[in-house]
Each structure stands twice: as structure tokens, then as C-alpha cells.
């Protein structure tokens, strides 16, 4: 059984799958797709995924896109442990309730803030205008507040119960993204601040490994900002 993972660790859902497969000690073939070099738009990669996005898996010739659909498939194929993605109907539904909510509830807003503040200036050579940034920031703050109070902050250690699931890993990897735009969710949301280290610890050392490049970028930005003071 050969599993290929097309990924770039700059992509949040790519990191989710990478960390999970490493945590499961599953022997997969990593296929790096360099987003910064626009390799996802290449003819070769478009043949793999007509949507031109990562992550993608190729499981013995069965090519599947969309990270949440991939999680579900890998759970059914017993690649992901049941402790992380329950097969008990109600617990599974609770995990999926979050996985479905997060697309527009959380991911959209964190990703858009990251794009407007961090990516667009790189791509266009000029800073986004302040009013645009503030609009995206306001929507991200509302999304993070929902996550902090309506998903966390309900008296359990993790999103669904007392042990981590794939829902926590998906959320955690997403929340790393606005950090590259200079925004630290943990400094503003107490439940996120309490929960996040527990997720990182559970998926150690692979969580940190998958975020090495991201953290290097953040540290470099911090140094640049400090040198301007």
C-alpha cells in the first residue's frame, strides 16, 4: 500500500496531514509541491489535482483532494487512530460538526487576514490599504472569539471532550497562519492560550517540525520589526 502526500508545509491543511501521518508512524512518500514557486499551477501537478491545490493524496492510484475528505478517508482506512477520529457515531458527529463549521467559521477568516496582510504585499509589492486590513481583522476577531468561547471554553480540555482529536489539530494549524501576519491569537483569547500548548504537546515533535519554516519566517519578521524601533 503506497500513500503519496502532495504538500507544502506553508499550507495549513498540508501540515495537518503531514503531522498526522508522522504521528501515526505511517510510511508515506512525501511529494513536495513548492507553492512559492507556483508549482501547484504546473501542468504536471494540474494532472494530479485539477483544482491546483495542496494537499492531495494518491493512495495506490486513488487520488483524493480536500483535506477534510482525506481525513475521513484515512480514518476509514485505519491510517488515523480511532483515538484521534472516533468511529462511535455520536463522537464522530461531534468531531465532524467542528470540521464542517471551521471552513467558513474559522479558516476563511484566518486565511484571508493572512493573505491581505502577508501575501498580497509580497505578490503586488505594496501594502494593502488600512481600511481593507481592518475589515478582515474585525471578521477574524469575531471568528476567533466564536472559536474561543463556543467551541473551547465549554469546560472540556479539547474541542470534543478530554482528549485531542483531528478537530484540534485542524484548528491549531489554522491558527498558526495569522501569526505570519503578525497577529498572535493566544495574546487575545484566553481559552485558545490554554488549549494550544496541549495540542502542540500531544503531537510533539511532529507539530513543531512541521512549523519550523513558518516559525523562522515569524522570527525574521519580528527581528525586522524590532530593528526598525
Question: What residue ranges bind a copy of itself (CB under 8 A)?
Answer: 50-51, 62, 64-69, 72-73, 76-77, 89-90, 92-93, 96-97, 99-101, 103-104, 107-108, 146, 150
| Residue number with CB closer to a copy of itself (42 or 65) | 65
Q: Which cell goes with 16?
A: 495537518
| Residue number with CB closer to a copy of itself (93 or 204) | 93
Q: How far is the CB of 59 from a copy of itself (least distance, A)?
A: 9
- Alpha carbon 107 to its chain centroid, in Å, reads 8
Q: How far is the CB of 89 from a copy of itself (least distance, A)?
A: 5
Q: How far is the CB of 105 from a copy of itself (least distance, A)?
A: 8
E strand or H helix that includes residue 7: strand 3-7
Distance (Å) of CA 199 to CA 31, 63, 168? 26, 29, 7
Q: What CA–CA distance (Å, rounded) separates 4 from 150? A: 36
Close Cβ partners of 72 (under 8 Å, ≥ 6 residues apart) = 85, 96
| Residue number with CB closer to a copy of itself (116 or 211) | 116
Q: Which cell goes with 192?
A: 485558545
Q: Which of 73, 77, 95 is nearest to 85 (CA)?
A: 95
Q: How far is the CB of 93 from a copy of itself (least distance, A)?
A: 4
| Residue number with CB closer to a copy of itself (92 or 128) | 92
Amino acid at each position: 500500500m503506497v500513500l503519496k502526500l502532495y504538500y507544502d508545509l506553508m499550507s495549513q491543511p498540508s501540515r495537518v496531514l503531514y503531522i498526522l501521518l508522522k504521528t501515526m508512524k505511517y510510511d508515506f512518500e512525501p511529494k513536495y509541491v513548492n507553492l512559492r514557486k507556483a508549482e501547484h499551477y504546473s501542468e504536471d501537478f494540474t494532472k494530479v489535482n485539477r483544482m491546483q491545490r495542496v494537499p492531495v493524496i494518491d493512495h495506490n492510484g486513488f487520488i483524493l483532494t480536500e483535506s477534510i475528505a482525506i481525513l475521513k478517508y484515512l480514518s476509514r482506512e485505519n491510517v488515523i487512530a480511532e483515538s484521534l477520529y472516533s468511529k462511535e457515531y455520536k463522537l464522530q458527529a461531534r468531531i465532524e460538526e467542528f470540521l464542517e463549521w471551521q471552513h467558513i467559521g474559522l479558516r476563511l477568516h484566518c486565511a484571508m487576514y493572512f493573505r491581505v496582510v502577508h501575501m498580497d504585499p509580497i505578490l503586488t509589492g505594496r501594502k494593502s490599504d488600512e481600511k481593507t486590513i481592518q475589515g478582515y481583522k474585525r471578521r477574524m476577531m469575531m471568528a476567533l472569539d466564536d472559536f474561543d468561547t463556543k467551541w473551547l471554553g465549554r469546560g472540556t480540555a479539547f474541542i470534543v471532550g478530554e482528549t485531542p482529536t483531528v478537530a484540534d489539530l485542524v484548528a491549531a494549524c489554522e491558527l498558526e497562519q495569522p501569526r505570519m501576519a503578525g497577529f498572535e491569537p493566544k495574546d487575545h483569547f484566553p481559552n485558545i492560550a490554554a488549549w494550544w500548548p496541549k495540542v502542540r504537546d500531544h503531537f510533539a515533535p511532529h507539530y513543531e517540525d512541521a512549523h519550523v519554516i513558518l516559525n523562522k519566517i515569524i522570527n525574521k519578521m519580528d527581528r525586522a520589526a524590532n530593528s526598525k524601533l
